[in-house]
Amino acid sequence: MTDFFPGNSYHTPDTGRLYPSHRLLFWTRWNLYPRFFRTVLQARALAEAGRYDNEAFAASSREIIRDVEGCGGLFHVEGLDRIREARGPVVFIGNHMSTLETLVLPAFIVPIKPASFVVKEKLVRGPVFGPVMRAVEPIAVSRRDARKDLTDVLTQGSEKIARGRSIIIFPQSTRQYTFDPGKFNSLGIKLAARSGAAVIPVALKTDFWSNGVILRGFGPLRIREPIRFEFGSPLQVSGRGRTEHQQVVDFIVSRMKAWGVPVADGRASPE
């Protein structure tokens, strides 16, 4: 499989941003979202034909990165070598800001470590995204029964990790522009402790792609906001993982503050 970003970092070339007409005509959601849905429909066709494998998953994610860059998005990604240095499958634990991270993280992760997500059940059942999501073997949670969701994540996640598949999880209950440690649960740490996998913290800033009012996942583009991802060093969980959970939170908080993202004054949730 092609590793699209073979170095430790990736930065979008800052070109084509000096022309006001580009901002008026092209740097809007009305240019990006048609491109995005074209990519999704192509992926859906492959999934329905049984040909949406890890390589196709990474490639369609890479195409979305190109679409975002074509509409003025600037990516700044650091720490890719930390994924490479981790042995075996891992649990990626990150904050959740917008739809964008779910779409583009596979391009950075999957060529190095085959991976899937913990997602809301409705994404797996939907007529457009459903076939694509099912093809990448996610863990679907209902968000209605916390105990069952915990059992499903621990059981299915451990099985997938045992088969060599990493898991990407966003412990926040919803997308938030402000990072609140008190709403960042330890589900990812529990999965790592159960499965024996290492944890890689992921800090992200994706408010370029804002949340909409009518369609929550598809708001206006905020072209002045750079898109940032940084992967932390792998952590091996010991005991109940309280120390490692705090290390993940501390890493994300440090990057949020460095990037100018508001951080709520709250303690990390131990549960």
Domains and CATH numbers, the chain: 9-258 (3.40.1130)
Mean pLDDT (whole number) for 180-185: 91
> What's the whole-number average pLDDT of the chain?
89
Most confident of 169-178, 215-224, 232-241: 232-241
Q: What is the pLDDT of residue 22?
A: 46
Is the confidence at residue 144, as pLDDT, over 90? Answer: no
Q: What is the pLDDT of residue 212?
A: 64
pLDDT tier for residue 268 given thresholds of 50, 70 and 90? low
pLDDT tier for residue 15 given thresholds of 50, 70 and 90? low
Is the confidence at residue 183, as pLDDT, over 50? Answer: yes
Higher pLDDT, 22 or 54: 54
Q: What is the pLDDT of residue 43?
A: 96
Q: What is the pLDDT of residue 270?
A: 52
Range in 6-15, 153-162, 226-235 with the lowest mean pLDDT? 6-15
Q: What is the pLDDT of residue 18?
A: 41
Is the confidence at residue 258, as pLDDT, over 90? Answer: yes
Higher pLDDT, 207 or 70: 207
**How many CB atoms within 10 Å of residue 217?**
16
Residue whose entry in the numeric block shows the structure tokens 């992926």: 43
Quote the CA–CA distance of 118 and 86 in Å, as a whole number: 20
Mean pLDDT (whole number) for 43-71: 95
Total-model pTM: 0.91
Q: What is the pLDDT of residue 123?
A: 87
pLDDT tier for residue 208 given thresholds of 50, 70 and 90? very high
Is the confidence at residue 130, as pLDDT, over 80? Answer: yes
Mean pLDDT (whole number) for 113-131: 92
Is the confidence at residue 16, as pLDDT, over 50? Answer: no
